[in-house]
Chains A and B, each alone.
Chain A
Amino acid sequence: MNKRDSANYRMKQSNGEKIFNLFNTMFLLALCALTIYPVFYIIVYSLNEGMDSLKGGLYLFPRKFTWFNYQYVLGNGIVQRAYLITIGRTILGTVLGLTVTGITAYGYSFRNLPYRKFLMAAALIPMLFNGGLIPYYIQLSNLRLVDTFWVLVIPGAFNIWNMFVMMKFFMGIPESLRESALIDGAGEVRIFLRIVLPLSKPVMAAIGLFVAVTHWNDWYSGAFYVNSTKLMPLQTYLQKLFSADSLGMLAGNNQTVAEAAVRGSESSTMTIMSVKMAAVMIGTLPILCIYPFLQKHFVKGMLVGSVKG
């Protein structure tokens, strides 16, 4: 069958198919709307005067537009600090994670390495069984990592799953490239840095992004492995703020009296909910902003990992 015939065939749609297509389109449109709306609602709420939002009926646009909720949150010392911690751990965690996982993956990518099966099993077992929460915590505490910045960065540096994805990618690089470099007298380290890594940009980018998002969104380690407020990442701050029912948690000790006085007039329009929504947007916006540009990489990374082999 040539192309034109098949095109002709496609043109002929039965009534049933037309109805199906119509419903399908409508369903997908509705799904997209439902996906986006919660995010949109938070934006609207955070840009509206808190007292006004309490009256309800806030659906699509802010009624009494204000930046004040954002000013209040961003002016807060704890939030600024938490932001720095999150940015710091995301950058360091991603760099360290890619380095450690990438180097190990390269070692594993030699098909004919003696004892590779045994070493592979050593990496697989933790995927099936683990010591559980408390022994893990005791170990972190024995390592003196608890309540330090490094507990947010080091324990997650080696990720087994990401290692397998990278390993599969490295294994796809033609052996001949490596061999010719060996003949030219290059050492393994040189080959890795000069030949393998440049060829692996897509997989490194994709995994790097996943690691970065995981670090950005992780509230858990900040909540249980860190006690001091100074080391609290933004998502942990959000998690703690979630159950707060007064603004006390937000203000913390860093809010100076002068600051409070300047804002006194406007702060009467603010509610705990409106401030919370602004805080949430501040924590989510960076990801939403980079997402459209990096979506391709995310999808690619997901697919590299899913090829069974």
Chain B
Amino acid sequence: MKKLFGNLVKYRCMYIMISIGITFLIIFNYMPMTGLQIAFRDFRPGKTIWNAQWVGLENFWFLKDAEFWRVVKNTIVLTVTRFLFSFPAPIILALLINEVRNNKFKKAVQSITYIPHFISWVVVAYMLESLLAPTDGIVNQIIKSFGGEAIFFMGSTKWFVPVVVIASVWKEVGWGTIIYLAAISSIEQEMYEAASLDGAGKWAKVKYITFPCLTPTIVLLLILSMPNLLNAGIDAIYPLTNNANLEVSTVLDVYVLRNGMQLGKYSFATAVGFISSVISLLLVLSANKISNKITGEGLW
């Protein structure tokens, strides 16, 4: 006890500094965690999270509800498809950019492909709406000029996932190359020179030097992306949802938002959010464990 007190006095400056951030964490992260209890209560306006009626697992009825499972399926289909394309894309692009000899061209490609990262998802939604518009959008004009029939992309259940995936890749592929290009540039040049002397071609060098050197980075980013597998990103998806694509565009976040914020079913929405948080947590923990076992490296 004396030691604790002594330390607190001795390092008071640092503790005060840290406590500023910790205060924010308590208010905006830890206290909302205590709010999770309303998943087991009947919370209504006028009650607090501490005095609403306990209802046990009543709010979890959605686990037997077909609509909920459709939402889960939508989420998984969307996030997994998106992941399958948007995870490897920057790796491939980084390898291609790395092959460019002309430095000015290389810089120009990088600068240009980084731009969409800074464009908000709302603006992306507008871009999609205008480019994919059924009558005057450029994509449909091209389809029509080839004799095809106009497709109403934004209002179709079939096209929702492909459109979101393409938009995500468009937005983040360039930005995602930064880390990989940095990792590539830290590979020692002598390795390539030695390989050249041994008669290795371009492809062999990529396969036996560049790619293996990138593997730790790839694994790390892979684990870091795990928690987002259930998180379709409300920021990105919500602006693209409309009544016509509701059936496929309702992902977990959107479902929670609609039920909670818009329909006022707070306890129900919290229960849904709780289940998805728990699954995300399990995903990270197991990804980390697997990674530790296979590569000997993990987040902790």
B127 touches A38 (CB 8 A): yes
Asked whether, in the complex, the Cβ of B36 is within 8 Å of the Cβ of A135, the reply is: yes
User: A108 on the interface (CB 8 Å rule)?
Assistant: yes
A235 surroundings in chain B (CB, below 8 A): 120, 122
Please report the C-alpha to C-alpha distance between residue A303 and residue B136 in the assembled complex, in whole angstroms: 42
CB pair A128 B135 closer than 8 Å: no
| CB atoms of B18 and A104 under 8 A apart | yes
A196-230 residues at the B interface, CB under 8 angstroms: 213, 216-220, 224
A139 touching B27 by the CB < 8 A rule?
yes
**Interface mask (B233-262 → A, CB under 8 Å = 1, otherwise 0):** 011001100100000000001001100110
Cβ–Cβ contact B196 & A38, under 8 A: no
On whether the beta carbons of A158 and B24 are closer than 8 Å, the reply is yes
Is A1's CB under 8 angstroms from B14's CB?
no
Q: Given the known A-B contacts A136-B28, A224-B261, are A32 and B112 also in contact in the complex, defined by CB atoms under 8 Å?
A: yes
Q: In the complex, are the beta carbons of A238 and B122 less than 8 A apart? A: yes
CB atoms of B32 and A138 under 8 A apart: yes
A306/B235 in contact, CB under 8 A:
no
Contacts of A24 in B (CB 8 A): 96, 99-100
Q: Which of A126, A137, A213 contacts B30 (CB 8 A)?
A: A126
Is B202 an interface position by the 8 A CB rule? yes
Q: Is the CB of A54 within 8 A of B135?
A: yes
User: Which residues from A are CB-within-8-Å of B11?
Assistant: 110, 113-114
Please pick, from B7, B33, B202, B273, the residue contacting A114 in the complex, using a CB distance under 8 A. B7
Would A308 and B239 count as touching, CB distance under 8 A?
no
Judged by a CB distance under 8 angstroms, whether B29 is at the interface is yes
Residues of A within 8 A of B201 (CB): 14, 16-17
Pairwise interchain contact B126-A128, C-beta atoms closer than 8 A: no
A41 contacts partner chain B, Cβ-Cβ < 8 Å? yes
**Measured CA separation A91–B122 after assembly (Å):** 21
Cβ of A193 under 8 Å from chain B = no
Do residues A20 and B202 form an inter-chain contact, with CB atoms below 8 A? Answer: yes
Which chain B residue lies CB-closest to A129?
B281
Given contacts A24-B96, A277-B130, are A291 and B115 in contact (CB under 8 A)? yes
Q: Does A45 contact B (CB under 8 A)?
A: yes
A59 to chain B minimum Cβ distance, whole angstroms, is 6
Q: Which A residues touch B25, using CB under 8 A?
A: 122-123, 126, 158, 160
- Contacting residues, chain B, for A25 (C-beta < 8 A): 100, 105
A281-309 vs B, Cβ < 8 Å mask (1 yes, 0 no): 00110011001100100110011001010
Docked complex: B101-141 residues within 8 A CB-CB of A: 101, 105, 108-109, 111-116, 118-123, 125-127, 129-131, 133, 135-136, 138, 141
B20: chain A residues at CB < 8 Å are 100, 103-104, 107, 158
A284 to B119 alpha-carbon distance, docked (Å): 7
Query: Interface-forming stretch among B73-81, B174-182, B207-215?
Result: B174-182
Report which of B35, B113, B133 forms a contact with A35, defined as CB distance below 8 A. Answer: B113
**B72 at interface, CB cutoff 8 A:** no
* B13 touches A (CB below 8 Å): yes
A43 to B270, CA, bound (A): 42
Asked if B71 is an interface residue, CB under 8 A from chain A, the answer is no
| Residue of A whose beta carbon sits closest to that of B38 | A135
In the complex, are the beta carbons of A219 and B115 less than 8 A apart? no
Contact B17 A219 (CB under 8 A): no
A window 31-45: CB within 8 A of B: 31-32, 34-36, 38-39, 41-42, 45
Q: Is the CB of A55 within 8 A of B136?
A: yes
- Are A41 and B126 also in contact (CB < 8 A) when A24-B99, A104-B20, A113-B11 are? no
Known: A122-B22, A128-B281. A220 touches B129 (CB 8 A): no
Is A253 in contact with chain B by the CB < 8 A criterion? no
* Residues B130 and A132 in contact, CB atoms below 8 Å apart: no
- Which residues of chain A come closer than 8 Å to B273, judged between CB atoms? 131-135
CA distance A132 to B131 in the complex (A): 35
Interface residue? B67 (CB, 8 A): no
Measured CB to CB, the closest approach of chain A to B135, in angstroms, equals 7
Residue numbers in B under 8 Å from A138 (CB-CB): 32, 35, 38, 43, 49, 266
With an 8 A cutoff between CB atoms, is A143 at the interface? Answer: yes
Q: Does B97 contact A (CB under 8 A)?
A: yes
B60 within 8 A of A: no
Q: Which residues from chain A contact B27 at a C-beta distance below 8 Å?
A: 139, 143
* Interface hits, A90-136 → B, CB 8 Å: 100-101, 103-108, 110, 113-115, 119, 122-123, 126, 128-136
A242 interfacial by beta-carbon distance below 8 Å: yes
B122 proximity list for chain A (CB < 8 A): 217, 219, 235, 238-239, 242, 283
Q: Could you tell me if B21 and A238 are in contact, using CB atoms closer than 8 angstroms?
A: no
On chain A, the residues within 8 Å of B113 by CB distance are: 31-32, 35
- Which chain A residues lie closer than 8 Å to B136 at the CB level? 53-56, 58
Q: Is A189 an interface residue (CB 8 A)?
A: yes
Known: A100-B21, A128-B284. A284 touches B179 (CB 8 A): no
In the assembled complex, B155 has its CB within 8 A of some CB on chain A: no
Q: Tell me how far the C-beta of B225 lies from the nearest C-beta in chain A, rounded to whole angstroms.
A: 13
User: Is the CB–CB distance between A134 and B127 below 8 Å?
Assistant: no
Binding site for B on A (CB under 8 A): 1, 6, 9, 14, 16-17, 20-21, 24-25, 27-28, 31-32, 34-36, 38-39, 41-42, 45, 53-59, 100-101, 103-108, 110, 113-115, 119, 122-123, 126, 128-139, 142-143, 155, 157-158, 160, 163, 187-189, 213, 216-220, 224, 235, 238-239, 242-243, 273, 276-277, 280, 283-284, 287-288, 291-292, 295, 298-299, 302-303, 306, 308
The 6 closest A-B pairs by CB, nearest first: A135-B35, A104-B21, A107-B17, A132-B273, A131-B32, A158-B24
